[in-house]
Amino acid sequence: MKVRLFIFLVGVLITECALSQQKFESALQELLEKPDYQHASAGIHIIDLKDGKEVYGYNSEMLMIPASTMKLVTSAAALEMLGPDYRFQTKIGYTGNIIDGTLNGDLVILGGGDPALGSEYFMDHYFHPHFMDVWAEKIKSAGIANVKGDLILDLSVYDSEKIPSTWIWEDMGNYYGAGASALTVYDNLFRITFRSPPLPGQLTEITAIYPKVPGLEFQNEVFSSNINRDRAYVFGSPIDGKRVIRGTIPKNRRAFTIKASNPNPEILLAEDFLMHLSDNGIFVSGKITIGKIDNNAFQSVYIQESPKLNEIVRILNDESVNLFAEHLVKQIGAEIKGKGTRENGLQIITDFWSQVGLDTLQIVMEDGSGLSHFNLATPQFFTGLLTHSKNLPAFTNSLPTAGEGTLYRFSPNVFPGKTLKAKSGSMTRVRCYSGYLTTDKNNQLAFSIMFNHFNGEHAKLIGEIEKLLEVIKSSY
C-alpha cells in the first residue's frame, strides 16, 4: 500500500513538473513568435537551488552580450577576494621637513583607487564634515601653514588607462561612461545645464557647468524638441579636452541638466583641495604635479577610508554604477598582482570563477561593468555564479528587488517582499536579467534570461520578461 502511494505521489509530482514546464514553454514560444523577437537571440536558464537541477533551459550555453549583468561576475568575485569589510584608502601627507610652520617639501595625495570618494551615493560618509576640510585640518595639525613645494598626486596604484578600449564613442563622454582613476572624485562626473527655446528645432544655450572641469572646451549642438526627455549625448575622447554635445532636450526649459563624465578627476580634486587648504589658512606656493613619490620619504598625516566594500557593492548593483565596477577590477589587480590594470583584474576574476568550478569558456570579459559590447556570457554561467554565491549575504543583499533600483519597472505586488532579487542589464537591443526567484510554492530558483538583437522598445520587452517570471513564480 505504501509503495503504491509513493509511486502515485511521484507520478503526481512528475506530472506537475511537466505541466509547469509546458506552461512556461508555451509562454516563451508565444513571446518569440512576436514580430519584435522573431529574429532575436534569446537564452534562458533556470535551476532549483535546493538540488542544483535544471528547471528549464533554452540556448543556455549560448554566448550572448550580458550588458550590466556582468557586474554580478565582478562584484561577487570582489566580495570573496577582497572581503565585504574591505576599505579603499587615500593617504594624505608630505615629503620634506617642517620648520616654523613652513613645509620645505611637497604635499602629497596618494591615490588608493577609492571609487566612492566624494560620491553623491555616500553623502554622510564624506560630507559631514566635508572630507577635504578634514584633510586640511590634519595638515594644519601637523604644523603646516605654508608649503614651499608642489601638491603631488601619486596615481601609480593604477595604470593610465581610464576607459576600456572597447567602449563605444556614444558612451564614454556621458556620465555612465566615466573611467576609473586612482584619484576618482565626485563620481567622475559633472553637470551641464541648458536653457531651451519655446519652439522645437532651435539651438539651446549652455547656462552653467558644475563643477568646472579644468581643460575642457565645449561645442554645443543640442536643439530643443517636442520629445519630453533627455536625448543629448556628450562626445569626446578621454585623452582630449574637446567635448561636442549633440542631440535634443525638451523645449521651453529654463534649466535642463544632463550629466557628463570627467576625464580628469584627479586635477579637479587637486584644485578643489587647494581651495579648501586656502580656506583653512594653508597656502601652497608650487603647482599641481602628477608623479610617483618615494614611499620612504612620505610622511602620512591622514588616511581617508572608503565605506566598506559591501556598501559600495550594494550601490553598484542596485544602481548599476559602471564606475564602481571598473574600480573593483583594477583594485583586484592592484591587491593581488601589485598593479591596478584592467588586464590583471579581469584575468584574476576569470581564474577565480574557474577555481570555484565554473566553465570559463562560457564567459569573455572585456570590462567589469558590462558597458563593452565585446563582453560575452551564457545564461548557464550566470546560474552557476548565482548558485555559488547564494550564501554570501553581502552579494545577495546587493541585488535590487521588484519596484526598487534597476527593477523599478517590476511590480512589487506581483513579486512582493524579496521574492524577486535580480540584476538587470541593458544597452541598445540588449536586455538581460539574472537573479533569484522565490516561487509561490516556496521553491528557491536561480535564473538568467538574456535577449540580444531584438527590435522594439525596451519597456515592452521588460513587460514580457515580467510575464515570463510571473509564469515561473506561479508554476514551480
Give 160's contacts (C-beta < 8 A, 6+ positions apart).
none
Peptide bond into 211 cis (omega under 30): yes
Calculate mean pLDDT across residues 71-83: 98
Tens of pLDDT along 267-313? 999 999 999 999 999 999 999 999 999 999 999 999 999 999 999 99
Peptide bond into 379 cis (omega under 30): no
Closest by alpha carbon to 434, among 79, 66, 48?
66
For residue 17, the model assigns a pLDDT of 56
Class of domain 28-84+311-475: alpha beta
Return all residues near 22 (Cβ < 8 A) that are at least 6 apart.
none
What string of H, E and C letters represents the secondary structure of 417-432? CCCEEEEEEEECCEEE
CA distance 321 to 159: 21
pTM: 0.94
Classify 387 as helix, strand or coil: helix
Q: Are strands 217-225 and 89-99 parallel, antiparallel or unpaired?
A: unpaired
The answer, yes or no, to whether residue 9 has pLDDT greater than 80, is no
pLDDT of residue 321: 98
pLDDT band at 3 (very low <50, low <70, confident <90, very high): low
Do residues 266 and 290 touch, judged by C-beta distance below 8 A?
yes
pLDDT tens digits, one per residue of 377-407: 999 999 999 999 999 999 999 999 999 999 9
Distance CA 89, CA 348 (A): 21
Q: Domain ranges in the chain?
A: 28-84+311-475, 89-159+265-307, 169-261
> Which is nearest to 437 in space by CA: 391, 471, 393, 394?
471
Torsion sign (Cα): 231, 326, 436, 60: positive
Residue 296, classed as helix, strand or coil, is helix
Fold of 89-159+265-307: D-tyrosyl-trna(Tyr) Deacylase; Chain: A; (3.50.80)
Residue 241 has pLDDT above 70, yes or no: yes
Residue 155 pLDDT: 98
Task: Give the tens place of pLDDT for each residue, 418-446.
Answer: 999 999 999 999 999 999 999 999 999 99
